[in-house]
Amino acid sequence: MPKLDSYLFREFAQTTFAALVVLMIVSLGAVFADVLGDIVRGRVPAGMMLAQLGLQVLNYLPLILPLGLMLGLLLSVGRLYRDSEMPVLTSIGVGPRRLLRPLMLLVVPFVLLIGACSLWLGPWARQYSQQMIEVGQRSLLVAGLEAGRFVELPGGGGVVYANSMSNDGTRLGRVFIYRQEEGRMDVTSARTGTLNVEGTSRYLTLDEGFRVEGPMDGGKDFRLMRYAANEVRLPDAESREIADDPELMSTPALLPDGRPEARAQLHFRMAPPLLALAFALLAVPLARSPPRQARWGRIILGLLAYVFGINLMLLGTNALASGRLPVALGLWWLVLPLLALGLWMYFGDGRMKRSRLVGA
């Protein structure tokens, strides 16, 4: 590799990596907040927090990587203009066409990585995440319950204590449950307990125990019951049919599916790598700045272009799924014009107008 290409590739790669690190830290905080919210609402078992966090990050990579690539190129090319390196390179005949080689050395692997995340890794992460949740909802052990500890049930359904627990987390021994609802408290004890799942509903079946119910304000309206069997309903588990949900289907399974939702999901997965290529081409001319001019205005313009393109992609996907856009049109109305605009701006960057050439 020539020294110039090696130098430019190193500049592009280092700045892009730094931008990606910052974006991943910010995105990790947002994803962590979403996962915690699902755990509090009882949708995700607490024992799966770290696994769900990693899977959700993989799911968002097709949206994070294009932005990191664009920001990295905007910052690196802008620095070359700020330090007057680009004018020197231009004076020796190094124009946009000559920059294409080191640029593509970085952009092509990034586009392939984004395509792999969008077409394969993201759907696999969503499907595996849903499978883990469905398996975890059938086990109190995964939901965070441990023998010998008072633990709050998922979704704030109460506090439960079990003296012993089976290895699979479905059978309990010497159970104690305390709940509050509408100003009344409910204390239930049982010799044994079993977790039963019916669709999205979960019940804790208790055998041979007592139940005490009464007011919390100090009244005397208490009731004591002895039972042979009692069912305590836990917060409902969210369930999605993996075989029919386009978001959870693999990309090869979407190809023969003619439903509008499936076609919209297929176009949604194909768009990110093409948009990343368009944004990378747009970054070089957008980063051009005359001497002594602030470069942050161009970066903000690039961010606005990215946000505008991603929002159009999301709106177009919803329109395709609902039938407001023809399936044959897909998202090509967005991807192809952006690619054409990126190519035109890249190869037209720095080219002098004909009137100036004639005057000279």
What is the residue-level pLDDT of the chain in tens, covering all 360 positions? 578 888 889 999 999 999 999 999 988 888 888 888 877 666 677 677 888 888 999 999 999 999 999 999 999 888 888 877 777 877 777 767 778 888 999 999 999 999 999 999 999 998 888 888 777 666 554 455 667 777 776 555 678 888 888 776 678 888 888 887 777 888 888 888 887 766 656 677 888 888 888 887 777 778 888 888 888 776 555 555 555 788 888 889 888 888 889 999 999 999 999 999 999 999 988 888 766 666 677 788 888 999 999 999 999 999 999 989 898 888 999 999 999 999 998 887 755 444 444 444
- Domain contains 145: no
Burial 39-58 (b: 16+ CB within 10 A, else e): beebbbbbbbbebbeebbbb
Task: Count the domains in the chain.
Answer: 2
Tell me the C-alpha to C-alpha distance, in Å, between residue 116 and each of 70, 216, 339.
18, 57, 20
Instruction: Transcribe 90-134 into DSSP letters.
Output: HHTT--HHHHHHHHHHHHHHHHHHHHHIIIIIHHHHHHHHHHHHH
- Domain contains 276: yes
- Domain contains 331: yes
Q: Where a domain ends, among 234, 264, 297? A: 234
Q: Which of 134, 129, 188 is nearest to 157 (CA)?
A: 188
3-state secondary structure of 353: coil
Count of beta carbons in the 10 Å neighbourhood of residue 162: 24
Residue 297, domain extent? 3-136+242-359
Contacts of 96 by beta carbon, 8 Å cutoff, 6+ apart? 284, 285, 346, 347, 349, 350
- Domain contains 26: yes
75, 97: one domain: yes
For residue 313 the two structure tokens come to 């992609």
* C-alpha dihedral sign at 290, 354, 343, 108: negative
Residue 120's pLDDT is: 93
208, 224: one domain: yes
- CA–CA gap between residue 129 and residue 35 (Å, rounded): 12
pTM: 0.74
126, 261: one domain: yes
- CA–CA gap between residue 350 and residue 360 (Å, rounded): 17
- Domain contains 141: no
27, 172: one domain: no
282, 342: one domain: yes
Q: Which of 172, 177, 176 is nearest to 192 (CA)?
A: 172
Tell me the C-alpha to C-alpha distance, in Å, between residue 6 and each of 12, 82, 108, 193, 347.
10, 20, 16, 66, 22
Q: Where a domain ends, among 212, 234, 256? A: 234
- Domain contains 143: no
254, 209: one domain: no
- CA–CA gap between residue 341 and residue 286 (Å, rounded): 12
71, 154: one domain: no
- Domain contains 103: yes
Count of beta carbons in the 10 Å neighbourhood of residue 229: 10
3-state secondary structure of 178: strand
274, 310: one domain: yes
Residue 219, phi-psi category: left (phi > 0), alpha (psi -120 to 50), beta (remainder) = beta
225, 247: one domain: no
Maximum CA pair distance of the chain? 103
- Domain contains 169: yes
- Name the DSSP letter for residue 237: P
Residue 132's pLDDT is: 81
226, 248: one domain: no
Q: Where a domain ends, among 234, 269, 284? A: 234
Contacts of 208 by beta carbon, 8 Å cutoff, 6+ apart? 190, 191, 192, 227, 228
3-state secondary structure of 157: coil
Residue 137's pLDDT is: 62
83, 122: one domain: yes
227, 246: one domain: no
